[in-house]
Amino acid sequence: MKEPIETIAGKLYLVKIRKPDKKFNLRGDADFDSNYPKLKQKYQNAPHFELIVREKFEMLRLSDPNFSVMTCFSNIPVRKWI
C-alpha cells in the first residue's frame, strides 16, 4: 500500500473518480464508511435518501436540492478499497 497524503483534514488514503451524473451536476460529495445494512434499514425510505443499485454494489445517496452537496453510503466499506 502507498503512503497516505497528509492534508489539513487528516491522512488521505483513497481518491475516487466518478462518472458524471447529470442529476447532480457541479455538486461536491463525500463517501462514508458505515454499517450499511443498519443504515439502509433505517433510512432507505426516509426523505432525501435514494437507493442506488449498480451492477456490483449499491449505495444510499443523501441529498437535498436546497444544498449544493451530497453524500453516499456504500455497501462496500471504504476500508475494503484501500
Please report where in the chains the cell 456490483 appears, as a residue. 56
pLDDT of 49 reads: 95
CA dihedral 26, 57, 37, 32 (to 10 degrees): -40
DSSP 23: G
Please report where in the chains the cell 478499497 appears, as a residue. 81
C-alpha cell at 12: 488521505
Whether residue 14 contacts residue 25, with contact meaning beta carbons closer than 8 Å, is answered with no
pLDDT of 50 reads: 93
Q: Could you tell me the mean pLDDT of each successive run of 10 residues in the chain, 82 residues long?
A: 80 73 62 81 94 88 84 71 52
